[in-house]
A and B are shown apart, each in its own frame.
Chain A
Amino acid sequence: MSSCIYILDEQLEPLILKNLKSVPNPRVFAEFFKKVYYPNAGPVIAHHTGIVYVYVQRDGLFYVSVILGSVMFDVMAILAYLHDFYVLVKNYVHTGQVNRNSIADNFNLLYELFDESLDFGVPQLTEYNIIRDFIKIEANVPSKKSSENYKSSIDSDDDDDEESESKYSGKIVSGTKSSKEKDKAKKDGLKGDEQYINSFILRATTQAISWRTKGIYYPKNELFVDVIESQTYMMDMSQGQVRKSFIQGKIKCRSYLSGMPKVKLCLNKMLKNKELFLASTKFHQCVALETLSSQDIIDFIPPDGEFQLCEYKLKRHINDAPVIKVTEFKITKRDEKKRVQLKVTIEPHFKAQNAAKFLKVHVPIQTLFQEYSIDLAKSPRFKCDFGSVAFNVTARSLLWQAEGMKGGHGEVSYSMQVEFFLFDQEEYNKKLAELQQTMDPPPLRDGLKLDELYAQAADSKNINGEERLILVEFEVPYYTCSGLKVDYLKIEEEQLEYQSFPWVRYKTMNDQEYAYQI
């Protein structure tokens, strides 16, 4: 399929050229890409001479595959491969991003990875857990410090933040010290990986089960299952209409099991409405797909280490309350006091015994400022039932933050109020007149000069649709909003028959799009 693969930097200069089909001068085609590329082009660019470029852009770099010879080919395979290759490289370099330097520093490793993952331009293998067994070159990462840095930055592909996850793992598995250590070891990167996780004897790529090798051994056999659901919700408050409401769930596993364990996992959703659930679910390659229709159990031999068992997307009924419901958004003008009051009320909808780990409500105030002339020289007043409110001048929004909010089902609600002073022409005129008459210098102002800050921020206009959206961010541990539960989890290893420790935990959070339109 692919004739050559390139990795190009932001200026479309080649960093890596991998010639796969003995193309005479591969560089020419990398140069030519500059000519045919234009910003916002789709991922496939075909030139009339029969040269086709397929590319993905990740972290600013271009992963380009060029296909020569005007032949039909499976674009999807190439796109999927390029994406997977990026993920593979990311796993190797242990940084949140794969940038120009990490490529240049490890170009030899990258050539090896291409060699291993492709044959004659046809994708063969992109599973990190397998490849790392025979390409053991350590990635050349700038320094320890920056590699740790990535741990706190959120992985762009996976929405969940590793650090926060490990914290709450600490809560669940408190007492099992070793697992904590393991978590820590994982964070230290590859070294920890080798030291704690694996002591293998022999490995080979192609065998009956291609994602797991033989002879894996752990002193303590553990399987961590994380069910993470993120809710997408979009409601138009002016019309009271719900535009979008669905749940994207992922089941992530980390397996530290010896031998060839068979895992049986049963979800309550599979029992209740199996067809509907399966229709929207995608499983990892280790799951025995053919048995899914006949049994109510997900059967799999897990790969070693971290992997995503499945992801699913569930539609919700329009009347189902979202986890955090904004029930009120009101702007009232109080003429007698020359003030404008903004009030936001929210209602949690999850089990009362649970608590949201954090909650952030972003309330845009740009429209408010457009409608009323607000005098920021007098600082606004904030009040809320719970947490704290901050005024983000540059983003022109209010941020309401709270921690540990208790759940409920409509019986509790929390609200936040902000009062802005209206610009008072009479008073202003009076002041001006006074100033002109007296010889005193204008009085010194103390405190924040919000109005000036705001004027500065208003200069740099940011154009996006967000100024009409109340965005809500939250995270509720121990709770799945779809009600999904792991009913049954069993680990069997016929030969070793060890005792194993399965851990399951749940979490619900907001998706990127969780917003109320006002």
Chain B
Amino acid sequence: MSDQRIFSRYKAYEIRAELQQGNVKKHRASAAKRKNALKKIIANITMGFSSEMLDLFPDVLEFWRIDDNMEVKRICHQYLVAMASTKSNHFEDALRLVVGDLTSGSERLQTLALRTLAAVPLDPYADECHKAVRTILQKSSNSEKLKKTALYAILKLLNYDTTRASPLLELLYDTLSNHREGPAVRANALFILNEIQETTPMLQNFSVDFDTCADMLELLAKLNEWDSARVLDSLTGSYVPHSHSDAHHFIEKSVSQLQHNNTSVVLNAFKFVLYLTKYVDYLTERLLKQLSGSMVSLLNKPAELQFLVLRNIILLLLGKEKPVLTIDISYFFVEFNDPIYIKDTKLEILYLLAKEDNLSQILQELKEYATDIDIQMSRKAIRAIGNLTVKLEQSADECIALLIELLDFEVEYIVQEIVSVFKNVLRRYPERYELCLEKLVRFTDWVQEPESRGSMIWIITQNYSHLPNYLELFQLFANNFLDEVLEVQFVILGSAVRLFTRNPTPVTEKLCVDILKNATERIDDPDLRDRAFVYWRLLSFAQNGQNGNIGMDAAREIIDGTLPPIALNTQLDPQIVEELELNIGTIASIYLKPVNQVFRLNKPKSLPDSPALNENREPLTIIAGDSRSRSSSFIADSIQPEFRRQSSSPVKKMDDYDKPAETINPLKDRRKSSSPSLHLSRKPSMLARKLSLRRPFA
């Protein structure tokens, strides 16, 4: 039998006919037929023809009544849930059937009925559900599975009508503290309480005490993987250790979970342990090793999971002067069959991990990628090298040498990317790499993309004193002013004005006036036009000197002031890192932004206060081995308590210039098509095609 035919569109009357046909003859073959017809209904709902299927409501109810087959029952329930939004008047009849199923003996049917009750957003259903949840949770003889379902039903009821369902919270508390309940039931009660606390305004002061926490960790061995993950997740933040020894105790208890095969369990265990380390007085070397090891072994999971692990590694690296993780860089070398998003993330990690001592190894890898056949990858690698040059002052020479070496390949996209990157390098180290200038300038004709063009113009203007033929070079761009992309036009305008103020000769004056004229008269963009006007007026004021306020010097300062140095800060605000560390494995860890920036409605998490909390975030001492004899009264007197929540803005706003130094920008595909070089190369072929149109001879 092939179900292929089930998955096609049917009219309601066709299925009805089939259902009734099955009804007449009451034997086995007809039962199979009926089931088939019911399946067709579900298939049609899946395909989006629910309104057509709505007509079959009475027929479905009829079979619900007479058929005892589990599969049929399941389809009926599914039908009911799918129709929930239609407000059909058959729901009352259906309710009776659902309640009937709920009181039947079969555990599976009961679970199914309870879920249906909770899933239909209608008042009578909610009423029944309230009743059912209470009776199920209070009766100890019910099976764990049914109780678990009842717990989740509470969550649904809260969603549906918060005020009515709030008395049910008591039940959750009772379940959590009842030692006779099964482990899975208690674990889920904890999870749901935590979930309510996080997503609703209720239960603001929900917390777990020492005994419960110890209990729950004890239960871990008996829980299945998903439940364990949730317990660890829920305990983070809701249990607050009151002394260092408590924290140490629980770290010891939960650290074994890092060994689990399920990625979700590992990350949640990691989060919990990391959270507890905020409440201890020292860390053991062994623990740090275990933490790093657990991350490394997650790196051979399927790509999607790997991606999330890598993002979380970035999170942990960003945090501190001395990160918790010490992982060998070779784990982050890109493999050719990695998906692009993994390659990106790995490059970012390599950039973050780069230090003076491992730089040569990283540069070698990056060189490989830069000469890769994959153009995107190659560009990203070059960008990363450029960023490293800016980041590591002592090794800048090494990076520059590599960039120059790559330049010699004379491949178009490599050259363009290097030019773009060099802008930052020259800005970071002015007067240090003049020797490279000549080499760069040789490629003036090569740069086609807006970014590299802009960057080339900037380089020429800024270093004109080292380039004897700077005017010629600049002229190349200036002549093309009207055809450039807006972005480049801005740069040309700024540069022309700057060149004039620096070196006011008739030539530069003419150049400048030409550009200003073009910009004000022939450009449509209001921003560019306005800026040109401002420059023009400023210059004419300064030159005429009518108004004593502005002299040429002042104008020069306005137009060509000293640029602020590019400051690099790969460290995020400690407060944000702290919050992110409480959110390991969640969506915030992907975007590396504080929770309420990702989702405004969410409450920011913070470390709850406790006497054991390491208030000042001073680095903990790391001791070898396990010795517990260290006194817990370790306080570093010498370290001045740093100002804790000092930064005023939640996220450092990144200026255009130092942006690449902080993150490696993902290249957009869009750029490729907008690149003028492509347009140019396409033109002849278009022309050729037009010419080669087959036309009859005239």
Footprint of B on A, CB under 8 Å?
14-17, 19, 21-22, 24-25, 27, 38, 40-44, 46, 50, 52, 55-57, 70-77, 79-83, 101, 104-108, 111-112, 115, 119-120, 122-127, 134, 137, 140, 142, 157, 204-211, 243-244, 248, 275, 278-285, 287-290, 292-293, 308, 310-313, 315, 463-466, 512-513
Question: Is the CB–CB distance between B335 and A513 below 8 Å?
Answer: yes
A-B contact pairs, 7 of them (CB 8 A): A22-B81, A22-B120, A72-B586, A74-B268, A77-B229, A77-B230, A140-B3
Contact with A along B598-628 (1 / 0, CB 8 A): 1111100000000000000000000000000
Q: Does chain A have a CB within 8 A of B193?
A: no
Bound Cα distance A134, B121 (Å) = 29
A115: chain B residues within 8 A (beta carbon): 74, 112, 115
Q: Does chain A have a CB within 8 A of B156?
A: yes
- Taking A72-B602, A122-B152 as known contacts, 15 extra A-B pairs with beta carbons closer than 8 A to each other, sorted by chain A number, are A38-B669, A75-B589, A76-B267, A76-B305, A80-B305, A81-B264, A105-B4, A107-B46, A108-B42, A124-B148, A127-B224, A244-B333, A279-B297, A282-B261, A290-B256
Output the least CB separation between B340 and chain A (Å): 4
Which chain B residues (41-80) contact chain A, with CB distance < 8 Å? 42-43, 46-48, 71, 74-75, 78
Output the least CB separation between A517 and chain B (Å): 9
- Report which of B112, B226, B303, B373 forms a contact with A77, defined as CB distance below 8 A: B226
Known: A72-B588, A72-B602, A76-B264. A40 touches B43 (CB 8 A): no
Question: Is the CB–CB distance between B340 and A134 below 8 Å?
Answer: no
- Report which of B84, B148, B340 forms a contact with A206, defined as CB distance below 8 A: B148
Chain A interface mostly: mixed
Q: Does chain A have a CB within 8 A of B420?
A: no
Question: Is the CB–CB distance between B42 and A111 below 8 Å?
Answer: yes
B256: chain A residues within 8 A (beta carbon): 289-290, 292-293
Question: Is the CB–CB distance between A76 and B308 below 8 Å?
Answer: yes
Q: Does chain A have a CB within 8 A of B262?
A: yes
Question: Is the CB–CB distance between A56 and B259 below 8 Å?
Answer: no
Known: A50-B599, A74-B586, A281-B259. A40 touches B297 (CB 8 A): no
Question: Is the CB–CB distance between B115 and A285 below 8 Å?
Answer: no
**B309 closest partner in A (C-beta):** A76
**B191 closest partner in A (C-beta):** A122
**A38 closest partner in B (C-beta):** B669
- Report which of B7, B262, B587 forms a contact with A44, defined as CB distance below 8 A: B587
Which 9 pairs of residues, A with B, have the shortest CB-CB distance?
A279-B293, A206-B144, A43-B304, A289-B256, A42-B341, A76-B585, A210-B224, A70-B599, A120-B152
Q: Does chain A have a CB within 8 A of B506?
A: no
Contact with A along B110-149 (1 / 0, CB 8 A): 0010010011110000000000000000000001110011
- Report which of B261, B292, B587, B669 forms a contact with A72, defined as CB distance below 8 A: B587
Known: A107-B43, A243-B330. A512 touches B337 (CB 8 A): yes
Q: Does chain A have a CB within 8 A of B686?
A: no
Known: A140-B2, A281-B297. A107 touches B7 (CB 8 A): yes
Question: Is the CB–CB distance between A289 and B224 below 8 Å?
Answer: no
A124: chain B residues within 8 A (beta carbon): 148, 224, 226
**B583 closest partner in A (C-beta):** A72
Question: Is the CB–CB distance between A104 and B587 below 8 Å?
Answer: no
**A125 closest partner in B (C-beta):** B224
- Report which of A73, A278, A289, A466 forms a contact with B257, defined as CB distance below 8 A: A289
Q: Does chain A have a CB within 8 A of B595?
A: yes
Question: Is the CB–CB distance between B290 and A290 below 8 Å?
Answer: no
Output the least CB separation between A513 and chain B (Å): 6
Summed over the interface, the residue pairs from A and B with CB atoms below 8 Å come to a total of: 255
Which has the most chain B C-beta neighbours within 10 Å: A77, A275, A310? A77
Contact with A along B288-310 (1 / 0, CB 8 A): 01101110111110111101100
A80: chain B residues within 8 A (beta carbon): 262-264, 305
B259: chain A residues within 8 A (beta carbon): 278, 281-283, 287, 289, 292
Question: Is the CB–CB distance between A126 and B155 below 8 Å?
Answer: no
B330: chain A residues within 8 A (beta carbon): 243-244
- Report which of B85, B112, B224, B372 forms a contact with A211, defined as CB distance below 8 A: B224
Bound Cα distance A442, B48 (Å) = 69
Chain B interface mostly: helix
A27: chain B residues within 8 A (beta carbon): 48
Question: Is the CB–CB distance between B85 and A75 below 8 Å?
Answer: no
Output the least CB separation between B263 and chain A (Å): 5
Bound Cα distance A121, B257 (Å) = 24
**B112 closest partner in A (C-beta):** A115
Question: Is the CB–CB distance between A46 and B598 below 8 Å?
Answer: yes
Question: Is the CB–CB distance between B587 and A21 below 8 Å?
Answer: no
B119: chain A residues within 8 A (beta carbon): 22
**A13 closest partner in B (C-beta):** B47
Question: Is the CB–CB distance between B261 and A70 below 8 Å?
Answer: no
Question: Is the CB–CB distance between A120 and B156 below 8 Å?
Answer: yes
Question: Is the CB–CB distance between B294 and A77 below 8 Å?
Answer: no
Which chain B residues (198-240) contact chain A, with CB distance < 8 Å? 198-199, 220-226, 228-230, 233
Question: Is the CB–CB distance between B264 and A77 below 8 Å?
Answer: yes
Question: Is the CB–CB distance between B598 and A71 below 8 Å?
Answer: no
Question: Is the CB–CB distance between B336 and A464 below 8 Å?
Answer: yes
Bound Cα distance A111, B112 (Å) = 13
A312: chain B residues within 8 A (beta carbon): 297
Bound Cα distance A205, B147 (Å) = 13
Q: Does chain A have a CB within 8 A of B159?
A: yes
**B596 closest partner in A (C-beta):** A72
Q: Does chain A have a CB within 8 A of B39?
A: yes
A15: chain B residues within 8 A (beta carbon): 46
Output the least CB separation between A86 and chain B (Å): 9
Known: A71-B602, A206-B144. A83 touches B585 (CB 8 A): no
Q: Does chain A have a CB within 8 A of B396?
A: no
Output the least CB separation between A95 and chain B (Å): 15
Bound Cα distance A111, B75 (Å) = 9
Question: Is the CB–CB distance between A24 and B85 below 8 Å?
Answer: yes
Output the least CB separation between B186 and chain A (Å): 12
Bound Cα distance A457, B324 (Å) = 51
A42: chain B residues within 8 A (beta carbon): 307, 341, 590
A248: chain B residues within 8 A (beta carbon): 300
- Report which of A19, A76, A107, A284 forms a contact with B82, defined as CB distance below 8 A: A19
Q: Does chain A have a CB within 8 A of B184?
A: yes
- Report which of A50, A119, A210, A311 forms a contact with B223, defined as CB distance below 8 A: A210
Q: Does chain A have a CB within 8 A of B260?
A: yes
Output the least CB separation between B40 and chain A (Å): 11
Question: Is the CB–CB distance between B144 and A207 below 8 Å?
Answer: yes
Question: Is the CB–CB distance between A280 and B296 below 8 Å?
Answer: yes
Question: Is the CB–CB distance between A71 and B601 below 8 Å?
Answer: yes
Question: Is the CB–CB distance between B221 and A290 below 8 Å?
Answer: yes
Question: Is the CB–CB distance between B307 and A43 below 8 Å?
Answer: yes
Output the least CB separation between B421 and chain A (Å): 23
**B599 closest partner in A (C-beta):** A70
Q: Does chain A have a CB within 8 A of B286?
A: yes
Bound Cα distance A25, B373 (Å) = 45
Which chain B residues (164-215) contact chain A, with CB distance < 8 Å? 182-185, 191, 198-199
**B669 closest partner in A (C-beta):** A38
Output the least CB separation between A23 and chain B (Å): 9
A22: chain B residues within 8 A (beta carbon): 81, 84-85, 119-121, 156
Q: Does chain A have a CB within 8 A of B108?
A: yes
A244: chain B residues within 8 A (beta carbon): 330, 333
Question: Is the CB–CB distance between A76 and B263 below 8 Å?
Answer: yes
**B224 closest partner in A (C-beta):** A210
Q: Does chain A have a CB within 8 A of B459?
A: no
B296: chain A residues within 8 A (beta carbon): 279-280, 313
- Report which of B145, B226, B289, B305 forms a contact with A83, defined as CB distance below 8 A: B305
Question: Is the CB–CB distance between B155 and A120 below 8 Å?
Answer: yes
Known: A206-B145, A244-B333, A279-B290. A463 touches B373 (CB 8 A): yes
Bound Cα distance A205, B146 (Å) = 11
Question: Is the CB–CB distance between A56 and B302 below 8 Å?
Answer: yes
Q: Does chain A have a CB within 8 A of B641?
A: no
Bound Cα distance A105, B259 (Å) = 38
**B289 closest partner in A (C-beta):** A279
**A465 closest partner in B (C-beta):** B336
